Structure 1
Amino acid sequence: MKRSEFRELASRKIIQLDGATGTELIKRGMPAGVCPELWVLEHPEAITDVQQAYVKAGSDIVYVPTFGGNPLKLAEFGLESRTAEINAELAAISRRAVSGTLIFGDIAPTGQLVEPFGPLPFEECVELYKKQIAALLEGGVDGFAIETMMDLQEARAALLAVRELCDLPAIVTLTFEPGGKTLTGIDPVAALVTLQALGADAFGCNCSTGPEAMAELIRRMKPYAEIPLAAKPNAGMPHLVGDKTVFDLAAPEFAEAAMQLAEAGANLMGGCCGTSPAHLAALHEKLRGRKPLPAAPVRRGVIASGTQFRRIALDEPFAIIGERINPTGKKALQAELRAGSLELVKTFAREQTELGAAVLDVNFGLSGIDETEMMRRGVSELVLACPTPLCIDSTRPATVEAALRLYPGRALLNSISLEEERIKEVLPIAARYGAMLVLLPLTDDGIPETLGERIRVLEAIMAEAAKYGYTPADYAADALIMTISASPEAAAVSLDFIEYCARKLKISTVCGLSNVSFGLPGRPTVNLAFLGMALGRGLNTAISNPAAPGLTDMVVASDALNGKDNRLERYLAYHAAKAPSPAGTAPARAQAPAELTPEAALTESVLRGKREETLKRLDALLAAGADPGKIVNGILIPAITEVGNRFERKEYFLPQLMQSAAAMQQAMEKLEPLLQADSGDAPAGPVFLVATVKGDIHDIGKNIVTLLLKNHHFQVIDLGKDVPAETIVDAAIEHKAAFIGLSALMTTTMPQMRTVVELARSRGVTAPVIVGGAAVDETFAESIGAVYAADAMATVRAALKLI
């Protein structure tokens, strides 16, 4: 199927996807604990029956049963070497089962977090997915469904793998938590912006919630969607009735609730956990004759970091692009970069964000370093240190590609000019990864002197970019301000250029603000005077230091005057924050930050998840004679507890939680020999036994729980995944476990938790059992005599209360 054909189909009808596969296979005899992909190969009649039932129920697209068909998932069953065979044959079986209906290869998570959020290298992840995708192509799929992703970077890796192997349509859906973000903190609009720029043909949500909650996510995304939106909700929430998992919504109720998705703007609709052919048949009846919601004008010109997004447009508030992550003229930063350190880079990022920068310019052009490798490292570190979207700033094509390929968001690229290398090499790279562009009216002959020449060059660049699908909303034209000390007329030319771009071409403009005053005394005054003049001509973005005196004051006032500040909310909040305290002291923002005590510095390192810095500050405390026990109980435990508090308040997400836990763990490993020497034969902490139950092979959540429990002095016995009840209870007795922690991601394995609890009690094990997982809730936990924990930190808190 051509991508254009897919888009056309989604524009004239609501495409019906299929429903749940795993539960339907279980109904047809698939036992727990087996590899579903291998079982289907051995029982092809089961998937044939399921898929034909969905087609009969009205599905336009059915998914090939390859959810766990990537090499890492198959390796858990010793089947990695059969990746190509399994995927190709499953696609062929599906093709034979529903000839004439579209079949999409199902691509799902590997079970590992991808760099920079986790240990799996990004390029390795791309190659793993390519192995699966190549086999599915051999089997004859019509497109791909990348689904149930919680990590935007993993979704990007899968989509890049598709795009680098074929030109078939690709649907990408993430799974969002009740708070409206993924477990890794990804915002739905930011993910949409990122993935549609990267080449997704449809984007949306699956799993996690029922139709009503998912409709709110679709509504949020619709104004930014240039591609069709997809929704595949669960049939409500799961509950255990006897040994069977049942869901809230029967077929008629599911179909009725799903109409909210159509009203919110979904172009593709189907079902996930708990849905059956009956649910899809009821949905088909409700959708009969219904047209997709007409597309409203799309808000274009959006960049994103994954966790945040920012629209850069003439009708939006002024955007300051922080200029400080650039070694030019900064000796301290140059020295750090040559020493291989990025600590100052991260400090600059946080400071500029706190001062109101909407975007961070990132430039590592410095002699004596590998710019491309430093850019890769810098992007990875900045993504973890700061949520602000990035502007990649480099003249080297290889550096630009390395940054855009790795960056888990939609970046701004500084810059594209009419120079031959930039047009022929860098522009295709920018288009491949969907970056927004800074356009520089510059040629191989230099900077045009007159307004007319600059306009001619700019329009030539725009014409070239349009060949790659770029629109005027994707540009910010650089006014190329030159210093007036060398060219007194330079300011006038740049101001006229800004006005032409804003008023005639209707595109954003940007300038490097400090250039205008170079070589002059009183530079801040000159800069502010030029900014005021440029704002009046239509300037809406500037590369500058947000700490420059008066800069933010003028920007905030300008937005208020230009009607870009709703009810003056930002203006009033800004000045309220600047107001002196009742005692007449200066506002906190204007004060230099106080130097942290050694104890507070160690706390800050753990909160920020800085492993190397944590060890350095720990060493300094120990060298000064600090007591190891007091460091643990007075600094480290309170620090990791505060991390947990921020996680629960949704100020931190999984990446920050894991970074801080890893920093804490390193500190604990260093302190443990000292603690043992001080305490002699003192007993260790309580034994906490953890396992993923029989039939379930998912363990990301369990591994995070393990890490946090170790941070809090528990002795953790990790039995792994797919663990039988007998093994869990035997181990609990052998290790005299104080607690048993059970994880289950799938609704089909939830009954195993009851089995463990009942077996433990029958054998005299009285240790509290704490349960968690995507489908588990408090009602279920109470029904089996267990304690519910919504996440890793909740597990720790529950255990601490029960000690």
Structure 2
Amino acid sequence: MNRQQFLEFLKENIMILDGATGTELQKRGMPKGVCPEKWVIENPDVILDVQREYVSAGSNAVYTCTFGANRIKLEAFGLQDKVVEMNAELARLSKKAVGDKAFVAGDLAPTGKFIKPFGDMDFETCVEVYKEQVKGLLEGGVDFFVIETMMDIQEARAALIAVKESCDLPVCVSMTFEESGKTLMGTDPLTALITLQSLGADAVGCNCSTGPKAMIEIIRAMKPYALVPLLAKPNAGLPKLVDGKTVFDMGVEEYGTYVEELVKSGVNLLGGCCGTSPLYIAEIKKNLKGLKPLKIEPEKVSAITSARSTVFLGTNQPTVVVGERINPTGKKKLQEELKEGKTSLVTDLALEQVEKGAKVLDVNVGMPGIDEKETMVKIVELLVSMVSTPLCLDSSSPEVLEAALRIYPGRALINSISAEKAKLEKLLPVAAKYGAMFILLPLSDEGVPATAEERYTIINEVYERAKKYGYEKKDIVIDGLVMTVASDQKAALETLKVIDWSTNTFGCNTILGLSNVSFGLPERSWVNSAFLAMAMGKGLTMAILNPSSDTLMSIKMAGDVLTGKDKNSLKYIEYFGGSTKEKPVQTKKAEQSVTERIYGAVVGGDRENIKLHIETALKEGYEASYLVDNCLIPAINHVGDLYDKKEYFLPQLIQSAETMKEAFGLVEPLLKKDETAEKAKARIVIATVKGDIHDIGKNIVALMLRNYGFEVYDLGKDVPAEEIINAAKEKKAEIIGLSALMTTTMMEMKTVIELAKKEGLKAKFMVGGAVVTESFAKEIGADGYSEDAYSAVKLANKLLEA
């Protein structure tokens, strides 16, 4: 099935997908703890029966049984060399099951590892892992691909790139969102949609995690901006324990009552996830009678994203400030640091600009004496872990831009593409491949056009070329091309003409690099500020400036009010604090004490500088115990508070935890010399239970517990009950932590707890995992349940006090 056929089908029909596979296999005899993919190949009649039942119930498409058939997951079973062979065979089985009655979707799912900078897997390694799986699925004859249950937008991007670089088949991407409405890594539905559809996904949506009611809200958030069909595969409610078996609390008929609302919210592909069966699919089909999919009629909006936020551009939006300071031109100290491979100043500049109001950060590392591509990739990886602000990637090199765009976990803005032949031919294809917006610089091989009219001609020329790559005006930002008035006093007027024409005649977003206008003049800030105000009056949508300039930022805020971009002056009032609230005075980093810098490094996840700050503090005479009690522990506690408030998400939590670990590694040896400072640590044994090979959540919990001073013994994944109990006895553990991600393995937790009671073990049990709930924890006799890594720390402390 090609893309055209895929989209034509979805214009007139809701594509009914299948339901859960794992539970259906288990009902038919699949034992716990086996590799599902291998077991299915050895017992082919089972998957044939399951998928035929789904088709009979109404499924127009079934997923191949390849959820865990990537190299990383199969390695747990010693099958890492069988990836292509197994995927091909599993795809053939699905094709045999459905014949010509339904489509077969090649299923790609999480590897269970984090990509750098939050884990140890390189982005390219992840792409290759998925390409290997895609190869097998193509050999097996799949009709399209589904990338499902993705918690990390970067891993979803890697899988999407793998498919698109391997074939031209349609590909859907389905994220899984928590109750907070965001993924585990902090990506909201709108940001996920814009990022993935820009990168070339043919359908975007959500599966697992929530029931249909919550999923309706996710689809509603996406629909106004969706250029592609939307997909939903909800769970059958929440899991609970009944007569010793795990069941989901939403029955077939109740599930069916949400079908109409899902379609009216914008769903084009609909199926079921955990807890569903052919009966649920039949109910979906019954409730779809007479319903037609909504048309895909998105609002014409311009937007760029990071992994965790979206910034809209337009004449109806506040003028977007692009921070200009991450640029080595004229900055000797930054040049020296970049040459030495350091990044502390980049971190400082990024955090300061965001704090002062930058909504986008321009990133330029071009200078002699460094490998620009390597440095750009390093800085991008750093910044996406430190800030949620989208990036504007600034380089004239197609190679540098492609390297940065490939690993950037969002929809970036490119600065810039001109009509210069070499740049136009090389940069446009790169920008289009990764779905980036770009700044159009009206410059040609003939040089800088003096008049506005000449620039209009170039703008039209570049736009016509860009259209061939699928670009629309909403995907482009026109640079007015600012020249200094010191050498040509008419230069600013010509630029303002370009802004006016681009906004009000051509119909495009606009941007200016403000500081160029005043080059060579004294008291430059006044010229820059006046120019900003005049440009905003012409419709300017973005401005590259130094957000630390109070004058510029104040004029920007006032300009948004006067041009009607700031509704009810709310942002102006917030910025200036109203009449009764003074703006907080921020202490500059250089003026902070060393203990304040230690605290700030942990909160900000600044691993590069924590060692320097700790060493400085020790030289200044601070005791190791003082740094732990008054800097490190309060800082990580504050991080936990931010996480609880949903101001921080997993990326920041990991960065801060790693910084804490680095710091604690430096002071711990000194604590051992001071017996009064040494504190007894509670011992915790932690494991993913037998039959479950998912350990990413458990690994994060173990990391956090260690960073809060617990002595953690991580037994790994797929650990039998006897091994867990024996380890707890040997280590004299006060707490045992158990994790399970699958409904098919969560009952193993009860087995471990019952064995502990039989053996007379006094350790307390804490449990968690994607399918685990508080009520389930109580039913199996656990002492507590934690929904995430930080709540696990709080629970461990609570259990010790009990």
Alignment TM class, shorter chain as reference = over 0.9
Match of 1:235, SS?
Answer: coil
Q: Deviations over 1:259-279 (max 9, x none)?
A: 322121111111000000000
Match of 1:333 in 2: 334
Query: What letter matches 2:483 in structure 1?
Result: M
Q: Does 1:69 align with 2:65?
A: no
Match of 1:155, SS?
Answer: helix
Q: Which moved more, 1:277-286 or 1:685-694?
A: 685-694
| Counterpart-to-counterpart distance in 1, 2:669 and 2:565 | 59
Match of 1:708, SS?
Answer: helix
Shift of 1:140: 0.5
Shift of 1:257: 2.1
| Counterpart-to-counterpart distance in 1, 2:386 and 2:349 | 10
Q: Which moved more, 1:705-714 or 1:93-102?
A: 705-714
* Mapped contact 2:671–2:677 kept (Cα < 8 A): no
Match of 1:588, SS?
Answer: coil
Shift of 1:326: 0.9
Mind listing any 5+ residue stretches in structure 2 that lack a counterpart?
A: none
Query: What letter matches 2:386 in structure 1?
Result: A
Which of the numbers 627, 646, 649 marks the counterpart of 2:642? 646
Shift of 1:352: 1.2
Q: Does 1:774 align with 2:770?
A: yes
| Counterpart-to-counterpart distance in 2, 1:648 and 1:588 | 24
Shift of 1:682: 7.2
Q: Does 1:716 align with 2:717?
A: no
Q: Does 1:789 align with 2:774?
A: no
Alignment of 1:429-508 (within 5 A): 429-508=430-509
Match of 2:732 in 1: 736
* Mapped contact 2:474–2:508 kept (Cα < 8 A): yes
Alignment of 1:131-210 (within 5 A): 131-210=132-211
Shift of 1:428: 0.3
Q: Deviations over 1:674-730 (max 9, x none)?
A: 222333997841211111111111111111111111122222121111111122122
Match of 1:98 in 2: 98
Match of 1:678 in 2: 674
Match of 2:448, SS?
Answer: coil
Match of 2:257, SS?
Answer: helix
| Counterpart-to-counterpart distance in 1, 2:595 and 2:391 | 33
Q: Deviations over 1:572-614 (max 9, x none)?
A: 2222268664xxxxx4248756722222211111112222311
* Mapped contact 1:115–1:153 kept (Cα < 8 A): no
| Counterpart-to-counterpart distance in 2, 1:446 and 1:396 | 18
Q: Deviations over 1:625-652 (max 9, x none)?
A: 3222232233222222222222121111
Match of 1:801 in 2: 798
* Mapped contact 2:315–2:565 kept (Cα < 8 A): no
| Counterpart-to-counterpart distance in 2, 1:221 and 1:652 | 23
Match of 1:599 in 2: 595
Which of the numbers 676, 684, 697 marks the counterpart of 1:701? 697
From the superposition, tell whether residues 90 and 371 of structure 1 become closer, same or farther in structure 2 (CA, over 3 Å).
same
* Mapped contact 1:684–1:715 kept (Cα < 8 A): no
* Mapped contact 1:211–1:260 kept (Cα < 8 A): no
| Counterpart-to-counterpart distance in 2, 1:357 and 1:665 | 31
Number of aligned positions between the proteins: 798
Which of the numbers 613, 617, 624 marks the counterpart of 1:617? 613
Q: Which moved more, 1:283-292 or 1:456-465?
A: 283-292
Alignment of 1:542-581 (within 5 A): 542-576=543-577, 581=582
Query: What letter matches 1:792 in structure 2?
Result: A
Percent identity of the aligned residues?
52
The two structures have a TM-score, normalised by structure 2, of 0.97
Mind listing any 5+ residue stretches in structure 1 that lack a counterpart?
A: 582-586
Match of 2:744, SS?
Answer: helix
Query: What letter matches 1:334 in structure 2?
Result: Q
From the superposition, tell whether residues 19 and 41 of structure 1 become closer, same or farther in structure 2 (CA, over 3 Å).
same
| Counterpart-to-counterpart distance in 1, 2:178 and 2:693 | 21
Match of 1:300 in 2: 301
| Counterpart-to-counterpart distance in 2, 1:638 and 1:305 | 29
From the superposition, tell whether residues 126 and 297 of structure 1 become closer, same or farther in structure 2 (CA, over 3 Å).
closer
Q: Deviations over 1:318-370 (max 9, x none)?
A: 11111111111112211221221111111111111111112111111111111
Query: What letter matches 2:796 in structure 1?
Result: A
Match of 1:550, SS?
Answer: helix
Q: Which moved more, 1:551-560 or 1:412-421?
A: 551-560
Q: Deviations over 1:92-144 (max 9, x none)?
A: 11111111121011000000011222211000110111000011101101111
Match of 1:669 in 2: 665
* Mapped contact 2:69–2:86 kept (Cα < 8 A): yes
| Counterpart-to-counterpart distance in 2, 1:409 and 1:134 | 26
Match of 1:261 in 2: 262
Q: Deviations over 1:362-415 (max 9, x none)?
A: 111111111111100010001011111000010011111011011000000011
Match of 1:584 in 2: none
Which of the numbers 630, 635, 641 marks the counterpart of 2:631? 635
Query: What letter matches 2:643 in structure 1?
Result: F
Q: Which moved more, 1:642-651 or 1:679-688?
A: 679-688
Shift of 1:202: 0.5
* Mapped contact 1:524–1:549 kept (Cα < 8 A): no
| Counterpart-to-counterpart distance in 1, 2:757 and 2:62 | 44
Q: Does 1:58 align with 2:55?
A: no
Match of 2:525 in 1: 524
From the superposition, tell whether residues 734 and 435 of structure 1 become closer, same or farther in structure 2 (CA, over 3 Å).
same
Match of 1:660, SS?
Answer: helix
* Mapped contact 1:697–1:722 kept (Cα < 8 A): yes
Shift of 1:562: 2.3
| Counterpart-to-counterpart distance in 2, 1:796 and 1:538 | 51
| Counterpart-to-counterpart distance in 2, 1:87 and 1:592 | 56
Query: What letter matches 2:197 in structure 1?
Result: Q
Shift of 1:539: 1.4
Shift of 1:669: 2.5
Shift of 1:469: 0.3
| Counterpart-to-counterpart distance in 1, 2:568 and 2:620 | 54
| Counterpart-to-counterpart distance in 2, 1:801 and 1:316 | 47
* Mapped contact 1:578–1:589 kept (Cα < 8 A): no
The two structures, once aligned, show a CA RMSD in angstroms of 1.6
Match of 2:36 in 1: 36
* Mapped contact 1:691–1:728 kept (Cα < 8 A): yes
Shift of 1:154: 0.4
Query: What letter matches 1:798 in structure 2?
Result: L
| Counterpart-to-counterpart distance in 1, 2:626 and 2:677 | 19
| Counterpart-to-counterpart distance in 2, 1:226 and 1:297 | 6
Shift of 1:56: 1.0
From the superposition, tell whether residues 624 and 547 of structure 1 become closer, same or farther in structure 2 (CA, over 3 Å).
closer
